[in-house]
Structure formats: structure tokens, C-alpha cells
Amino acid sequence: MLPNAYLEALSQLQDDVDPIPNADLHKIFEEEVGIRISKAFIEFEEQPLASASIGQVHIATLHSGKKVAVKIQRPQIREQFLADLDTLQEIAVWVTNNSKEARKYNVSNVIEELRYTLLQELDYTLEAQNLLTLKENLKKFTHLYVPEPILDYSTSKILTMEFVEGKKVTKISPLRRIEEQLDPLVDDLIEAYLKQIIIDGFAHADPHPGNIYITNDNKLALMDLGMVARFPKELQDQILQLMIGLSNYNSEQVNNVLLTISTYDATADLENFKKKIGRLVLENQNQKAANMQTGRLIIQMNRIAAQNGIQIPIALNMLAKILLNMDQIVAVLSPQYDANTTIKNYVHQLMHSKMINELKPENLFNVVLETKKLTEKMPERLNSIFENLATNNFKIKVDAIDEDRFTDAFQKVANRITLGIIIASMIIGAALLIQIPTSWTIFGYPGLAIILFLIAALLGFYIIYTILVKDKNFKNDK
């Protein structure tokens, strides 16, 4: 969504930030692990392999001879994050209070989700566990590799893991793309991410070019598991339906899924939303990897939803972020790759897997328990219904109208009729009195008659005002 110049500048934060001073480096490691770097490793390269916004990575060698990567967190980075996040939250509150557009995009909730995600990323203990979980979940994908953490030398601020020999996917040469068949790697990458999102509900949420390496033996290594996304079971099923709709260019299905998972009220413009989503889906038809933008497509859907008074779940923003980064990786590895065919074929496999999974004994046992509860309660409830029918006490409550609003409107009508009769009576009385000569006059006419005319006129203008102004406001508040 930003101009290229901004993207190029921001991309430096991925692995090209000024390094931590060596003295601070050794101090942090010793305080966290309890031993000096020189004791932990037989070799440790002081020059960082990469230096990013949260920490930096050094190559080291264990006493066993195993080569490892040691990620060390920047000093006081947590305090800096908290200060920046507090500032962002204050901005979000102010913008939400003062901008209708910000309320549409649910800015405060987005910042709150960002806060949670980033603070999780600062705990390297969680990242080590995430590496183990992802490695287990993706073990069947032969073209993917997840480095294993070395737990003895890992803490909340230090993460030691297997070293991956390779380079960033964006650094591979055009010649390597021609000479080596990279489509199997792309197949595994796409299928692995669909599995993470739709089956496991646990996904590597930051697959940008700095975190995906192509190894010397032609595998894709997924690095940096600090940021992960979790998708609840119900949302997994709906994302599966969404991906099927997108892969089949079925705009009606995409619309139905988005409206099912979103929140909106009577003011939402559903027709305009459906029309624009339909156009987006069809415009994406038959795109190759170089132009494929599934992540950007979901971001655009979010924007369209907000503009039409519909709020899409925050989790869908994370899905868009994952797919946006993955689109970029696929386009680099194989520009002519037909991602939609892979998605279409694999989501049907996933659907079959989910159906098989639902037939597991524990799931069937839950169904049996629910059926047992229903069977136990059914006779009692049926007996109560028939008893109320027999005694003529059976009632059905229908919320068809707002009773208070209806009564209020009816009372207003009655009051105006009464007021109209009073005004008419005052005008008739004034007309009769004006013919009777009196010593008290106003402008040469009997004083009492003039006063009655004035009161009747004021009341008449008041009724006109309520009809033209207050009734309009009443109608708008419905």
C-alpha cells in the first residue's frame, strides 16, 4: 500500500540495522545463559550475520562441532517497544474518537492485536517452542526445513538454533531458476501454509524475504518463528471456504463467507459490498504468480468492507499479511507458477482431511454426549409444551416492533389532535369575542380576542415546527 521508495527503506529493518556493540553482546549472553560466550562455543563470529530491528544473529560452533546461529536481543528493546506501542494506542484512541473512517477500520483493535503479537515476538523462549511445533507440523513436506532450537543455550533473550547454509530467496540468480526445477519447492510452500492456517490453526506469520532462505540442497528454510498466527477452529473452516471460493473465482461464495464472519448493522450497504467484491474476484482470474496478489486481494476486501459499514475479523488481517508475503516469495521462485491450481487441488485434500478428522473417536464422543443431553431433556420439554397448550397458556413472543417507540408515536399523534382541537376552539372563541365591544383594546380590537388569536398562532407554529423538524429526526433515528 506504500510507494516503492518507502518499501525499500523499511525493508532494511529486516536484516540491515546497526549492530549491537560487542561489549553489550557478551554481557547480555552471560547474564542470560550464565556462562561466557567463550565457554559456550569453540568459535563465535563477532561480526553479525544479520542485524534486525529486534535482535541480531551470529554464527557460532558448539563443542560438538555443530554449527549454530545465535540470535541475541537488543538491550532495552522491550522498553522501546512498549513506549512506541503506548504512543500508537494513544493515537488510535484519538483517531477513533475524531475520525469516522478510523472507526470503520477498527483501528484500536488492530493496534491491540499488534501489541499482543509483537510482545510475544520479544520472548525467545516462545520462539524456540514455536520452532519445535512447526517442525513437527511440517515434517511431511520434504522441500521445507525448519531449524531446530538448541534449548540449553536459549532463554527469553537468547535463541540458539541450527545454522542454515543458504541465501535469501530474493537473492537467487535467474540462472538458478532456469537450471533447477523450483516448482516442487513452491508446491510445498503453498500447501504447507494452507495446512498451517486451515488444519493446524498455527502459522508462521512473518514469511517475508528476510525469513525464507533457499538452502544449498534446494530446500526452503522457514526462519524467525517469533511472530505466529493462531486461527480458531470455526475460523479455519470459514477460511477453507474462502480459499475454495477464491480459487474457483466464485464471488457469491466469497461474499457469503465474508458476511458470515463479519459484523454489521442495518446501515451497512450490502449490495455495494457484494458488487465490489465480485469485481475483485473476477479481476484476479487466471493470474500467474508474477501478478498473483491473494494477500493484497484480502486487504482490498477489508477496505471495501470498512467503506460499506462492515467489520471483518482482525484475524483476516493476519491471513492477508501471510499471503501477501507468500505471494512475493512465489513470484520470485517461479514467476509463471499457477498458484490457483495448486490451491484448488490442495484445499480439496484439506477438506477431506478435516472430514476424516471430525470422525475421530473424541469428536464422535462429543456428539454422543450432546445427543444424550438432548434425549434426556426432550420428554420434559415436550410435556411442558403440551401442558401449556392444553391449559391455553402457550405463548409465542415475537419481536416484530419496538413497543415503546410505537406507543410514543401514538401518544404524539393523540397530543397533536387534542392541541389542534384546542387551537380551533380558541380561534372560534376569539372570532366571537372580537364582535363584542369592550373598554380594553389592543390595536383597536377587543384585547381578550387578540390574546386568544396570538396564543392560537403560537401553538399553530409550534405544531408546524414539530412536524417539519422533530418528525424528521424521529424518522432518522429508526
Q: How confident is the model at residue 74 (pLDDT cuts 50, 70, 90)?
A: very high
Residue 221 has pLDDT above 90, yes or no: yes
> In this predicted structure, which of 149-153, 289-293, 447-451 has the lowest mean pLDDT?
289-293
Residue 59 has pLDDT above 80, yes or no: yes
- The average pLDDT across 355-372 equals 60
Residue 406 has pLDDT above 90, yes or no: no
- The average pLDDT across 188-195 equals 91
Stronger pLDDT, 311 or 418, i.e. the higher one: 311
Stronger pLDDT, 381 or 329, i.e. the higher one: 329
pLDDT score for 274? 93
d(CA 105, CA 103): 5
Residue 372 has pLDDT above 70, yes or no: no
Q: Is the pTM of this model over 0.95?
A: no
Residue 334 has pLDDT above 70, yes or no: yes
pLDDT score for 247? 80
Signed CA dihedral, 374, 379, 381, 385: sign only: positive
In SS3 terms, the chain reads as CCCHHHHHHHHHHHCECCCCCHHHHHHHHHHHHCCCHHHHCCEECCCCCEECCCEEEEEEECCCCCEEEEEEECCCHHHHHHHHHHHHHHHHHHHHHHCHHHHHCCHHHHHHHHHHHHHHHCCHHHHHHHHHHHHHHCCCCCCEECCCECHHHCCCCEEEEECCCEEEHHHCCHHHHHHCCCHHHHHHHHHHHHHHHHHHCEEECCCCCCCEEEECCCCEEECCCCCEEECCHHHHHHHHHHHHHHHCCCHHHHHHHHHHHCEECCCCCHHHHHHHHHHHHHHCCCCCCCCCCHHHHHHHHHHHHHHCCEECCHHHHHHHHHHHHHHHHHHHHCCCCCHHHHHHHHHHHHHHHHHHHHCCHHHHHHHHHHHHHHHHHHHHHHHHHHHHHHCCCCCCCCCCCCHHHHHHHHHHHHHHHHHHHHHHHHHHHHHHHCCCCCCCEECCEEHHHHHHHHHHHHHHHHHHHHHHHHHHHHHHCC
Residue 2 has pLDDT above 70, yes or no: no
Residue 469 has pLDDT above 80, yes or no: no
Residue 412 has pLDDT above 80, yes or no: no
d(CA 22, CA 29): 11
pLDDT score for 367? 58
Stronger pLDDT, 291 or 52, i.e. the higher one: 52
What's the one-letter identity of residue 240? L
Average pLDDT, the chain: 82
Which cell is 398 given?
A: 415475537
pLDDT score for 151? 94
Residue 397 has pLDDT above 70, yes or no: no
pLDDT score for 259? 92
Residue 475 has pLDDT above 70, yes or no: no
Residue 293 has pLDDT above 90, yes or no: no
- The average pLDDT across 220-248 equals 87
Q: How confident is the model at residue 357 (pLDDT cuts 50, 70, 90)?
A: low
Maximum separation of any 2 CA atoms in the chain, in Å? 124
Q: How far is CA 353 from CA 48, 137, 207, 237, in A?
A: 43, 14, 25, 12
pLDDT score for 462? 77
Residue 291 has pLDDT above 60, yes or no: no
What are the tens digits of pLDDT across the range 238-290? 888 888 888 888 889 999 999 999 988 888 899 999 999 998 888 877 665 54
Highest-pLDDT range among 124-138, 249-263, 303-317: 124-138
Residue 328 has pLDDT above 60, yes or no: yes
Q: How far is CA 76 from CA 8, 57, 226, 361, 467, in A?
A: 26, 17, 18, 49, 65
d(CA 225, CA 212): 11
Highest-pLDDT range among 132-136, 172-176, 366-370: 132-136
What are the tens digits of pLDDT across the range 243-256? 888 888 888 999 99
Stronger pLDDT, 57 or 374, i.e. the higher one: 57
Q: How confident is the model at residue 400 (pLDDT cuts 50, 70, 90)?
A: low
Stronger pLDDT, 202 or 52, i.e. the higher one: 202
What are the tens digits of pLDDT across the range 145-161? 999 999 999 999 999 99
> Residue 425, Cα to own-chain centre: how many angstroms?
65
pLDDT score for 287? 61
Residue 339 has pLDDT above 60, yes or no: yes
d(CA 362, CA 442): 94
Which of these, 75, 59, 68, lies nearest to 21 by C-alpha position? 75
Residue 427 has pLDDT above 80, yes or no: no
d(CA 364, CA 200): 20
Residue 202 has pLDDT above 90, yes or no: yes
pLDDT score for 204? 92
- The average pLDDT across 214-236 equals 89
pLDDT score for 123? 92
pLDDT score for 179? 73
